[in-house]
Chain A
Amino acid sequence: MSQTHLEPDTVEDEVSPEPEAGARAEIVGRSPGQIFWRRFRKDKLALVGVFILILIAAIALAAPLFANLVGHPVNKQFVFEMTTPGGVPLGPTLSNEAGVFLFGADGTARDLFVRVIYGAQTSLIVALSATAIELVLGVTFGIMAGFYRGRVDSFISGLIDVFFALPVLLLMLGIVGACGAQSPGQECLGGLLQPGRGLVAFVIGVFGWPYIARIIRGQVLSLREKEFVEASRSLGASNMRIMFREILPNVLAPIIVYTTLIIPTNILIEASLSFLGIGVPPSIPSWGAALNEATSYYRVAWWMMVFPGMFLFATTLAFNLVGDGLRDAFDPKTA
């Protein structure tokens, strides 16, 4: 049987909002989920964030539909329709001979609108995949370090310190660059790591887990002393069961909160790598790559910077708003 330990001040019963006049206020029992939702829905900014994220996710999923609608495949070029004779891309237009270009053209004369919405796919896929890797590694190592303490904790904490000391961005640049163009017989991890979104997500995830591991470790160090852990142990539960069936559910709140906060970080890392030219391959749309290209045109093609930048900003802001809202809802002490 699993048992969820809840801090007293986060599971308080609440008073019914409209008690009958003269009657003693009725105490209504609510589940933790209900309490969370009641708090979260009061956070208007967080709800706006959720709305933006749903919108962007929908746009990302529907990107092929949008591309079909405007008749501009993601890599289709319109060199003679959408550039000046000197090769400078043309801006947003509803009446070009090649159709509607809501966001204008990019530096390779492709429909920037289509590129941007496909870029949402790239950002979300890479960020979510990287975050998943970070969670698996970070939570596993964090729980083990906090639960076992002693040598295991020393080893994992030392490992975390080593990772913190690494020049992560430089290593990411090196690994993505080295694995980005492989020769036969020189594949990264025996060919497991192929250039593309997977490689970028893997590299971000592998270097990002120590942050979450350290947070989880701190939580577990406290939780392992609680009575419900003692109770489980006295009933003969194995360490694995205690760690992953008893303690893990009790650290879900910080995991969820932290997840929503590292996703935008990972989106920005992917954009940064692509901005530096070593993220996803050039044929895959990416907001970072689009912004990189825009730097060469910022004086004559404002749209190339504004639209990808707007989407990147909105997405990261939305994740942060949601993350803040979740944190407040899970833990009112920090609100």
Chain B
Amino acid sequence: MSKTFRYGAVVVVFSIVAAACGGGGDTTETEGPAATEPVAGGVLKVGFDGGSDFFYGMNPTAEYYSLSWEFLRCCLARTLLSYSGTPGDEGGNETLPDLATDQPTISDDGLTYTFTIKDGVMFGDPLNREIVAEDFVTAMNRIADPEASSGGYWFYYHGVVAGFAEAYDDEKLDEVSGIKAVDDKTLEITLEEPIGAFPFLVAMPAMAPLPAELVKAHPKDIGQFLVSSGPYQWEGMEGLDLEGDTPPSGMDIGKSYVLVRNPSYDKATDDLRPAYLDGIEVQVGGEVQDLLDKVEKGVIDLCATCLATATTLQTYHADPALEERIKVYPGDGISYSGLNVFQPPMDDIHVRKAINWVIDRAALLRLIGGPDQGIITSHFIPPSMLSGAGEEYDPYASEGDRGDVAKAMEEMKLSKYDTDQDGVCDAPECTFDALTITDDDDAIKTLETMSSSMEQVGLTMNIKTLTYNAVVQKCATLAAHQAFCQAGWGKDFASAFTYFDPLLDGGENGSNYAFLGTTEAALKEAGYDVPADGIPSISAKIDECWAMSLESANECWAALDVYVMEEIVPVVPRRFSNAIDILGERIANYSFDQFAGLGAIDHYSLVNGGA
């Protein structure tokens, strides 16, 4: 598979966004505060903090944050295969038939997937027509349109679906040859090569059916006029002039969103979504702590984007009535630091290993809220991505996870930056910059704590803060010579591929802070010395695992995890982060959606139906 064109998405989710993309930990029960039979009805009041929103205007082709994915999955954009909106241990990471009648039929060579579309599935207002195979073709062609999918995850399909690469790369070609509407109810997708994880790609929101009339009328602002295929739609879609410029009343980007029931939705066609609520009202804006306080006071039912703060967790844990309103689930995400393996002193593997040894991971976890926030790790891939393979792997184990200074010093002695081999870094390069986000208190605290640990082996970190976008831009730019960056990541789907590929492959791809797999020319142009022992890359190993079936790939990915953490060490993993939801007192039913890493909107119900 060509890697050259598979990047461009900047989806590095720092802790502020990691609420939606979290990572591993202990689970709790799925029932809400009032464990009664869910009653349909009522309107859920949701807050988004000021730094979060549907960043691409709810364009289903480009939205690449789990917050948007949840709203698309639950409510607006059904797909051929989808997820149940449940935790991982209840099958929440498995793809199930949604708009398709069943799992696809796969040809013997593994290249052709045939889907049969359910009868009676309809688009909502203002079209109110049946969804047909051609609507999926329209969606795929739109993914292959670089303008429409800019910022999205088109690269997953590039080189995978036959003809996609040609359509994406050639401006004159706007149809993907590998997808075909055999008839209204039969869709055929042909792949370039067998990919075990392809069903996950089918379940991505970008593959939700799109009516051609909508794409034609609103190629640039499609999200505001999105014609729903799910149980809800924007308020004001009824009777809307789809050719017009006035969006529905329920869609006010950056301010508020109102979802109401889709009158054309037939519950009988949907086994995945209970859809108890009559509506969802979202208000955008406000500080995290303020919004969490509003949840506690019952002003809103939940803050979908807020990371639970240590203050809130302590307040809730101190009161048994409140404590049951904390929902903690492993979020299939990781919090880590990316090390630019070409920038001194990180160009020395012994320095990178010494950092991994010396970090006090237990202190790091405690300072941001303790066990609720996740589980400590010193390797990269959450075991949930590997069906448990590698669960016991702990390459930088230390007593109580407090860090092992002796081993760190032993490692540092081997470094060229420890000129007198006393275990303490003493070259000028031992002082370096570390970047994080200005208003991310937890990230700053984390860096300060790591800095304290690193001082024990002579490494001095100058902590600098910038806006989110500036941090991403600098950390992802080879020429910025940024040695150390804070990062977090949540899966795109349940495969280790969605960690290795975007984060540790392809050089300057937008989220590969280690720049593994870059080229000699790129290094020289950015002013680096080309390593004498070659440029580290895991491209071939990724391709090898990616081509395997899901089951057999697990061991392959686990082995790659070991290789990365012991032979290259481009990261300092800290924690498989949890997703934490704090629920308001009105919420009666809750289910964690493992796919998006958020509470499943369609599973929420209100006490007495909100009456």
Contacts and interface: CB of A to CB of B under 8 A. Distances in A.
Contacts of B448: 75, 77, 108, 282-283
A296 B311 contact: yes
A296 B370 contact: no
Interface string B347-390: 00000000000001011001111111000000000000000000
Interface stretch (A38-46, A83-91, A121-129): A83-91
Interface stretch (B157-165, B423-431, B460-468): B460-468
Contacts of B452: 75-77
Contact of A177 (B369, B441, B466): B466
A296 B441 contact: yes
A181 B466 contact: yes
B431 to A, nearest CB: 12
B341 to A, nearest CB: 18
B447 A79 contact: no
Contact of B310 (A88, A184, A278): A88
Interface string B469-488: 01000100001111000000
Given A77-B363, A296-B289, A107 B441 contact: yes
B311 A88 contact: yes
A277 B437 CA distance: 9
A87 B447 contact: no
Interface string B436-469: 0011010011011101100000000011111100
B474 A86 contact: no
B370 A86 contact: yes
A181 B435 contact: yes
B474 A107 contact: no
B282 to A, nearest CB: 24
Contacts of B317: 86
Chain A interface main SS type:
loop
A79 B363 contact: yes
Contacts of B470: 177, 181
A283 B451 contact: yes
Contacts of B482: 183
A283 B367 CA distance: 16
A79 B438 contact: no
A296 B370 CA distance: 16
B372 A86 contact: yes
Given A281-B463, A282-B444, A295-B289, A183 B367 contact: no
Nearest to A87: B310
A281 B460 CA distance: 14
Contacts of B480: 183
Contact of B363 (A76, A80, A180, A277): A80
Chain B interface main SS type:
helix
B366 A79 contact: yes
Given A86-B369, A88-B310, A107-B441, A281 B462 contact: yes
B474 A177 contact: no
Nearest to A84: B314
A328 interface: no
Contacts of B256: none
A77 B360 CA distance: 11
Interface in A266-323: 276-278, 281-283, 293, 295-301
Nearest to A75: B452
B315 A299 contact: yes
Contacts of B462: 195, 281, 283
Contacts of B481: 183-184
A20 to B, nearest CB: 71
A293 B371 CA distance: 22
A257 interface: no
B438 A278 contact: yes
Contacts of B310: 86-88, 296-297
A300 B311 CA distance: 6
A92 to B, nearest CB: 18
A80 B401 CA distance: 13
B439 A80 contact: no
Contact of B465 (A108, A181, A300): A181
Contact of A85 (B363, B366, B444, B527): B366
A86 B315 CA distance: 10
Nearest to B455: A75
A114 to B, nearest CB: 14
B309 A296 contact: yes
Q: Give the interface size bracket for B toward A.
A: 35 or more
A109 interface: yes
Nearest to B452: A77
A175 to B, nearest CB: 13
Contact of B445 (A84, A86, A108): A108
A108 B463 contact: no
A80 B311 contact: no
Interface in A101-134: 107-109
A107 B466 CA distance: 20
A87 B464 contact: no
B119 interface: no
**Residue from A83, A181, A293, A300 having most chain B Cβ neighbours under 10 A:** A181
A180 B445 contact: no
**Residue from A75, A88, A109, A298 having most chain B Cβ neighbours under 10 A:** A88
B529 interface: no
Given A77-B449, A296-B441, A180 B466 contact: yes
Given A86-B372, A183-B480, A109 B367 contact: yes
Contacts of A298: 311
B169 interface: no
B538 interface: no
A84 B318 CA distance: 12
Contacts of B397: none
A178 to B, nearest CB: 9
A87 to B, nearest CB: 4
A281 B464 contact: yes
B315 A300 contact: yes
Contacts of B314: 84, 86, 88, 300
A292 to B, nearest CB: 8
B313 interface: yes
A66 B144 CA distance: 64
Given A180-B464, A278-B465, A87 B369 contact: yes
B465 A277 contact: yes
B437 to A, nearest CB: 9
A88 B314 CA distance: 7
Contacts of A77: 363, 448-449, 452
Contacts of B439: 277
Contacts of B366: 79-80, 83, 85-87
B508 to A, nearest CB: 14
A181 B372 contact: no
A108 B449 contact: yes
B367 A87 contact: yes
Nearest to B460: A283
B433 interface: yes
Contacts of A278: 438, 465
Contacts of B449: 77, 79, 108
A80 B362 CA distance: 9
B367 A293 contact: no
A295 B441 CA distance: 11
Interface string B515-529: 000000000000100
12 contacts: A75-B451, A77-B363, A79-B360, A80-B362, A180-B464, A180-B465, A181-B474, A276-B438, A281-B464, A281-B465, A296-B289, A296-B311
Nearest first, the 6 closest Cβ-Cβ pairs linking A and B are: A181-B464, A79-B363, A277-B438, A87-B310, A86-B370, A183-B480
Given A80-B362, A108-B445, 9 more contacts: A80-B366, A86-B317, A86-B366, A88-B314, A107-B441, A181-B433, A278-B465, A282-B444, A300-B314
